[in-house]
Structure 1
């Protein structure tokens, strides 16, 4: 840097006045000394890491073909496995058919008694014709068996060859991944945070951080939607248990030893499950942390309306078997309709989660675009600082990480479980 300024002043001395040369502005004019020191440190770190950077870029280039071929082989093996699964029963069937036909063939070929009977009856020609027909049939099914077995063996050989090739590629894939991880760490160590002298790197690093934050926010939104779906799904358990209690109440009502108190106690348990269903319905829509759309609002309204109607029926009190029977029938009809409404509620909730999954897909792609742009700028810093030759081969992003970002987001929601619908102990008095 200093030598270039000396060269500029030396060249200017041939045709500029001395006072002009003396007052010629410096490249670091108006820059604080601390900034100049910080920039020198960054450039020194780049120079010191140049050899390692070149080594890693060479490793990436040498193994760049492996991930694609490895994935292709995995797909091929899956296809071969499917064909093997389809073919193996066909081979077993062909073997069984050949064995059966062989018995038929032997019954004519090796049976002296049968041959003797036909000869005595002077039907030797008929015997020979049948024997020939059975032999021909045997050879036909035997040929089918051999073809099927040959095809099966060929597929097994293909799979074995693919397995060997995949095993070799697996080592290259591991090397490739390790090189990516190492170069990420190398660049992170040099460039993370404010990087003096590389304003464009700082700007792109900020864009990358914002893209990563956006993906985290979308992931949290997806987790909220999945919690909503799980709560909506748990509503079904509450309805099914309420229906079970309704059935128990029906048995109690028709029993020889009729107990009005027993029917009412069971219906109270039914009400407890209905109330739990209403709670879960509320939890589901609250979980998504957003104003529900019209479809979801309508689905919840329909479900809640049926719950409220079922609860009102279950809280009615009668003193005769016939009145109770009519009440229990209405209760069962309403709860059955609630099951249908619950399905629609889950479907509406799933639309929210699917929309958020699609948003994650777009955000993961945006994050990958920003990451690639950042890596390109950081590699450019090596090229401009130590020269293209020292930093060769040129950086090339060979692996798309967007699917991985998307997968990681989905994995965070995969462990979310349905809320519990606590089962009331048998014959226990339900809560008031």
Structure 2
């Protein structure tokens, strides 16, 4: 039989039960760019044929095992469904059985109160109402037998369900062994074909082309997996922004308790606000990080939500860095700060939801790419099996290879599993008695608070201005701009 005709016939037969392979045009172009058919090498072709002939018996055994155990995965899945159904019925029936047992026990007490009570029987006899007593006793006895029958039926049903579950569990072990054999056969075929066909295969150019397409599909899935991992990091960063805002709100509340008129309480007030600023800065950092880690271009919804959150956090930071001179002004400042942080919480929720849409889009892309990878893998397996049939002959070949197990869900699960180890970003808690962050300055102890109502300048600007000014005067200089002398211990500006 002509080899080329056999290949065509085999591929046509395989197409009857294979789903169409879906590959993007970009992938096809990549395949053709990387595909280089080696010139004919009779010695290399002979070595490939010899390897196929040596593996023919093993291939036949594995395919026969695959066919004999092909029903295992389906039966195992059905068995799982049956056990879940039985468990649900047991969960529903057990309260009914308990209720029936309680009703039977209660009715038994009422029945015994007539059957075993000599005093009650004597009183009814003395009153010449023995027939009334007998009627009530019979009624209680009938009622007891009725509830007892319901109890027995419920308990019988419960016992049957437990027996069914025990039988399913025993069957489950047998099916698990069968599925284990089936999986081992799949793995054996994969390894056998990989040893023979991986890399350039002389005499089988169509196998080389399909192998390259499979590699491209596999790389595409990994690329989308990396995009998903980045999106998950972005979602986690957007979520942790909430923690930073909540801690900033807590510091704002503490500042309200420390807001008094004396100079020492003002120092404590501004120290508390410095911790609030540190948490706001961490929130801004995480807000930017959520977008920056993405490997895909963020959409307008994500950019708009990010900008909205940044505006609220920046407004809150401006309020928290303001230094006012009295208690009433600070109360108004805290009210504005609380309003800005509350708005930031709502904006964070919207930002988090928008980032979740990015990760969901990545998951959908992975699902489609996993399906494409499975289609390419199946096509590759079919071509490799046809190589056995054209080399050793149809008469000596095993049952035709057909893919009984869909691996696309497994590819998808493997991609999702790579995101399980991603940790949440941290928002380090600042101890209450710690020094404020170095980029937040407030008047030194014993000096008058700054009376400006505007935001403090940037730390670097403050440091340069202060250093430059102090180098131009003879004596020590206070933060208020005056020279500290024995007659001017607070460094107030001299009046001429």
Specify if TM > 0.5: yes
Q: Which stretches in structure 2 are left out of the alignment for 5+ residues? A: 2-36, 440-496
Shift in alpha-carbon separation, 1:196–1:416, aligned structure 2, 3 A: same
Which position in structure 1 is the counterpart of 2:188?
182
Shift in alpha-carbon separation, 1:118–1:303, aligned structure 2, 3 A: farther
C-alpha contact (below 8 Å) 2:100/2:150 kept by paired residues: yes
C-alpha contact (below 8 Å) 1:252/1:258 kept by paired residues: no
Which position in structure 1 is the counterpart of 2:371?
365
Following superposition, the deviation at residue 102 of structure 1 comes to 1.6
C-alpha contact (below 8 Å) 2:261/2:326 kept by paired residues: no
265-274 vs 141-150, which deviates more? 141-150
C-alpha contact (below 8 Å) 2:320/2:337 kept by paired residues: yes
- Secondary structure of the residue aligned to 1:253 is coil
C-alpha contact (below 8 Å) 1:47/1:385 kept by paired residues: yes
**Larger fraction in helix:** 1
Which position in structure 1 is the counterpart of 2:311?
305
Shift in alpha-carbon separation, 1:340–1:87, aligned structure 2, 3 A: farther
- Secondary structure of the residue aligned to 2:409 is helix
C-alpha contact (below 8 Å) 1:241/1:270 kept by paired residues: yes
Following superposition, the deviation at residue 255 of structure 1 comes to 11
Among 201, 210, 216, which residue is 2:216 paired with?
210
190-199 vs 70-79, which deviates more? 70-79
Which position in structure 1 is the counterpart of 2:383?
377
Following superposition, the deviation at residue 32 of structure 1 comes to 10
Shift in alpha-carbon separation, 1:112–1:336, aligned structure 2, 3 A: farther
1:238-249 map, 5 Å: 238-249=244-255
Which position in structure 2 is the counterpart of 1:160?
166
Following superposition, the deviation at residue 258 of structure 1 comes to 7.9
239-248 vs 227-236, which deviates more? 239-248
C-alpha contact (below 8 Å) 2:260/2:266 kept by paired residues: no
Following superposition, the deviation at residue 369 of structure 1 comes to 0.4
Which position in structure 1 is the counterpart of 2:415?
409
C-alpha contact (below 8 Å) 1:224/1:289 kept by paired residues: yes
> 2-side partners of 1:32 and 1:272: how far apart?
64
> TM-score by structure 2 length?
0.78
Shift in alpha-carbon separation, 1:333–1:146, aligned structure 2, 3 A: farther
1:52-131 map, 5 Å: 52-131=58-137
Shift in alpha-carbon separation, 1:255–1:386, aligned structure 2, 3 A: farther
78-87 vs 208-217, which deviates more? 78-87
> 2-side partners of 1:295 and 1:52: how far apart?
57
Following superposition, the deviation at residue 34 of structure 1 comes to 7.3
Following superposition, the deviation at residue 254 of structure 1 comes to 7.1
Among 282, 287, 297, which residue is 2:293 paired with?
287
C-alpha RMSD of the superposition: 2.1
Q: Which stretches in structure 1 are left out of the alignment for 5+ residues? A: 2-30
Following superposition, the deviation at residue 320 of structure 1 comes to 3.3
Which position in structure 2 is the counterpart of 1:251?
257
Shift in alpha-carbon separation, 1:134–1:302, aligned structure 2, 3 A: farther
> 2-side partners of 1:102 and 1:311: how far apart?
74
Which position in structure 2 is the counterpart of 1:262?
268
